[in-house]
Amino acid sequence: MQNDFIPGGSLPVEEGDLIIEGINLVAKIFKNKKAIVVLTQDWHPLNHLSFASNHPGKNPGDEFTSEDGAIGPILWPDHCVQDTESAEFYKDLKIDLADKIIQKGMKPNVDSYSGFQDNDKKSETGLRKYLNSLNIKRIFICGLALDYCCYFTAVDGVDFGYDVYFLVDLTRGVDLPPGNISNSLKIMKNRGINFINKESFK
């Protein structure tokens, strides 16, 4: 839930600001139950190869996949650059409820959609080690964007053996390429990921 992903940012997700109140509510419920809250934060260098600006003649939204699959399937506008206001968490997000912040996407030549590992699946972010150190078996995912960071985190969660719950009403997607949201939801359902909403916690 970073500034660049909120309407007005360089990579805005439509209605991304409308889910913040619900995320804060669920995070507070978790804290009251002595559960763990983790935030992920894109933390890109300016020369990150997922940025269209680093590919002459390319524009944000153009389809592009590197040979090793570490970048793609599309190029993005410059976003969440390290040590900029754009990379900070949105002001309305109650970050004081977080137990841990996991930064990702710091290598110029590989993206990290998932909160668990880089896209090339060669390096982990430290999230799995942290959760395992606390003997956590079940994870709940929400935020931005549904069909990228949330989706890849959920799928990796299943692959790493966690029981995964996806808060559908507390996510929003970019749907690039078109149809990506519906495809992501279908894959997650087929992988046994549990779809729930914020009302489940009341």
- List, in order of start, the domains of the chain with CATH numbers: 3-201 (3.40.50.850)
Mean pLDDT of 135-158: 98
Q: What mean pLDDT do residues 119-146 have? A: 98
The model's pTM: 0.97
pLDDT per residue as tens digits for the range 69-117:
999 999 999 999 999 999 999 999 999 999 999 999 999 999 999 999 9
Contact between 106 and 124 under an 8 Å Cβ cutoff? The reply is: no
Using alpha carbons only, what angle is made at residue 144 by residues 110 and 117, rounded to the nearest 5 degrees?
35
Q: Give percent of the chain with pLDDT exceeding 70.
A: 100
Instruction: Check whether 201 has a pLDDT greater than 90.
Output: no
* Tally of CA atoms within 13 A in the half-sphere of 128 that contains its CB: 16
For 51, 54, 106, 123, the CA distances from 67, given in Å and listed in that order, are 16, 16, 19, 17
Position 202 pLDDT exceeds 90: no
* Residue indicated by tokens 């931005």: 144
